[in-house]
Amino acid sequence: MNIEEYRDYCMSFPQTSEGFPFDEKTLVFKVAGKMFALADVEDFSSVNLKCDPEKAIQLREEFPEVMPGYHMSKKHWNTVEVNSGVDDDKIKEWIKDSYDLVVQSLTKKLRTELGL
């Protein structure tokens, strides 16, 4: 997976926005103003994804390419090395899970307003 494929996939989800809120190299994807994925555009070697805390631990135990979120809450975020052994489809599945997790955390009213 390269940075363009990653960006295109993240932007394929409804109501997704992108930006650089931290610095000029950390691309952040949000839904309803809440982050679900981020990566360094200059050194695209990993992505940070939101994850259910129990599943986060399970993934870290199962995949050596999955680690606690770098510069993020270790409980709710994983850092996943890209192009290092984990299949792109698996990473896409985790990106979708991250997006869904954030959408589920929104109020029902907001989800309805956004058509989610």
Flag whether 48 is in a domain.
yes
Q: Give the helix/strand (H/E) hosting 99.
A: helix 88-105
Q: Give the helix/strand (H/E) hosting 36.
A: strand 34-40
Report whether pLDDT(54) > 90.
yes
- Structural domain boundaries enclosing 105: 3-110
Flag whether 115 is in a domain.
no
What is the tens place of the pLDDT at every residue in 11-28? 999 999 999 999 999 999
List, as own/partner pairs, every contact residues 29-33 make where C-beta atoms lie below 8 angstroms and the sequence separation is at least 24, other chains included.
31/99, 31/102, 31/103, 31/106, 31/116, 32/102, 32/103, 32/106, 32/110, 32/114
DSSP 33: T
| Axis-axis angle for helices 88-105, 3-11 (nearest 10) | 30
What is the tens place of the pLDDT at every residue in 82-92? 988 899 999 99
Report whether pLDDT(79) > 90.
yes
**Residue 68: CATH number of its domain:** 3.90.1150.30
- Tally the domains of the chain: 1
Flag whether 92 is in a domain.
yes
| Prediction pTM value | 0.93
Flag whether 103 is in a domain.
yes
Flag whether 57 is in a domain.
yes
Report whether pLDDT(81) > 90.
yes
Flag whether 89 is in a domain.
yes
